[in-house]
Chains A and B, each alone.
Chain A
Amino acid sequence: MVLLSAPRWLRSRLTDRFWRVQEVLKYARHFRGRKNRCYTLAIRSVRRAFVKSTKARREKKRFLRALWITRIEAASLEHGLKYPAFISNLLKSQVELNRKMIADLAIYEPKTFKSLAALAQRRRQEGFLAALGDGKEPEGIFSRIVHHY
C-alpha cells in the first residue's frame, strides 16, 4: 500500500532551535543588560548594530579625512602656514601626497614636514610675485586729478 500524503500524526518539529538562537546571541554577548541573554531583546539590538556598522563603514572615510585635515592644519600652523595655503601650494608644485600621508609625515617625520612647508611657502611667494605682474599701477579713472583752471 503506497500512501500519497503523510498521515496527520506525523509532525515536523523544529529540532535545532537552540543553535538558531545561539547564532544571534553570539553577536550580542558583549552587550549591556538583558539584551545579551534574552533572544527577543537581543535580536532587536543585533539588527540595529549590524545596520549601524554598515552605515558607519561609509562614514568612517569622511571622518578620517576630516581628522587628517585637522592634523595637517595644526602642523602647518606650527610652521606659520594656513591649511588652504599649504595644500594649494603643494598641489601647484606637483607634489601629489594625499592627506593621510601628509598627516603621518607630520606626526612621524617632522623634518620632512618642515621641508614640505618651506616648499609650499616658497611657491606661495612666487605666486604672489607672478600675480603682481609688472609692478606698475594701472592709471586710475576716478583717481585722476582734475585741474580746474
Chain B
Amino acid sequence: MIKFLLMVNKQGQTRLSKYYEQVDIEKRPSLETDVVKRCLSRKKEECSFVEYKDFKLVYRQYAALFIVVGISDTENELSIYELVHNFVEVLDKYFSRVVTQIMFNLDKVHIIIDEIIQNGHIVETNKNRILAPLLALDKMAEAH
C-alpha cells in the first residue's frame, strides 16, 4: 500500500502531504525532512527507489517539483513509478502551467489526489473520471 505522498520543492519544503497510514501530526515534519533529504541528495545515476527504514520510497522529479511516495515493502515499485506519472499527466490536463498553478490551487490538487488514491490504494486511473468531480465543483463555484 501507499503510506504517504509528498510534493516537495527543490529547497526541500513540503508543499503538499497526504498520509494514508497513521502518523502523529507532530511527527510528520521530521519524517518529511528526513525523507526529502534522502531523495534530494540522490545523484542522477541512482535509481528512483530508496530503501528507507522498513519501507521504500519512490521519487520522481518534474522541473522544480519532487514527488515522493512512501510504499510498503510488498508494493510494486515500477507500478507506483507509473502511477506518479499518471498523476502528473492529470495535473497537466487540468492546469496549463503545472508548477506555479499548483501553489495557488493546492486544495484542488488534494481533490485530484483523493480521486486517484484512497486509503493507500489506487481508486481510479482514468483521467476523465478523476477530473469529473473537480470540474463539477468548478461549475458549482462559478454558479455562485
Asked whether A and B interact, the reply is no
Query: Footprint of B on A, CB under 8 Å?
Result: none
